[in-house]
Amino acid sequence: MRIMCLNGWGGTLHDRLIPYLRAESPDVLCLQEVVHTPDASRDWLEYRDGTHVLPQRANFFREVAAALPDHVASFCPAAQGVLWDGQETIPSQWGLATFVRASFPIIGQAQVFVHKSFSSDGFGEHPRSRNAHAVRIWDMGKARTVTVAHMHGLRDLNGKMDTPERLAQARRFADLISYVAEQGDQIVACGDFNLEPSSLTFEVLGGLGLKDLVTARNHVDTRTSHYKKAGRYADYMLVNSAVDVIRFDVVVEPEVSDHRPLVLEF
């Protein structure tokens, strides 16, 4: 089984990302920063937050789903705000999505908010609402159950240090995993955590027997050249002892986002 985790950056590098996902076609794709704008008439819109302006692929979710036609696609919105088409505002949803190859039946799942709750009238003030999704799937070929969970951790404008909100976030994520997983499951937990490796989050998840592969395998950078700030850690993938890792990679090329894809084969 192959699992990929990626912050898709709203499809900003759409022309590279979609062909990459189509070619790689992981069994499970955990995707953060997903845009879903059902009423959009244009392919591209703009996200505007003060001086921060970013092109966004209006129907990013549907385009990824089309690139992975053999997968069951789930979109989990965290907020509904507006994107811009010139001077016109377009209501748009933003969140994360999970894509599971249809040959792996989903036998359990849940989504929760790890910070705040659904924001229906705007993206809100930072740190904004953040959510998580977990699926429990049956591997027909191996006659085993696998629980895969991912979250997009809150972004604090002051940095990636531990805060009470981040500790609460970690506990909610751990509770989600515990709720969906059952005894004997192989467990994979991943996402853009927006944290440094020293965070207490990893102690919380360690209480479930989960260990991070990014730092354990001496990867020091999960961001691409499109990310210009300091602090090169953001994305992590943790597994329990039941997961027999064949290969784990933090993909350097191609660059399909300002985050690097994390790919696990087990």
Mean pLDDT of successive 10-residue stretches along the chain, which has 266 residues: 98 98 98 96 95 95 98 98 96 98 98 97 94 98 96 95 98 98 98 97 98 97 94 96 98 98 98
Q: Give residue 91's pLDDT.
A: 97
Q: Which domains does the chain have, with CATH numbers?
A: 2-265 (3.60.10.10)
How far is residue 223's CA from residue 225's CA, in Å, rounded to a whole number? 7
Q: Measure CA 74 to chain center.
A: 12
Residues 148 and 180 sit within 8 Å (Cβ to Cβ): no
* ω into 164 cis (within 30 of 0): no
What is the structure's pLDDT at 117? 97
Q: Give pLDDT, residue 108.
A: 98
Cα separation, 207 vs 213, in Å, equals: 16
> Helix (H, G, I), strand (E, B), or coil: what is residue 60?
helix
Q: What integer pLDDT is reported at residue 231 of this predicted model?
A: 85
**Which runs of E-coded beta strand occur in the chain?**
2-7, 28-36, 44-49, 52-57, 71-85, 88-101, 106-115, 130-139, 144-152, 186-192, 211-212, 235-239, 247-250, 262-265
What's the pLDDT score for residue 58? 98
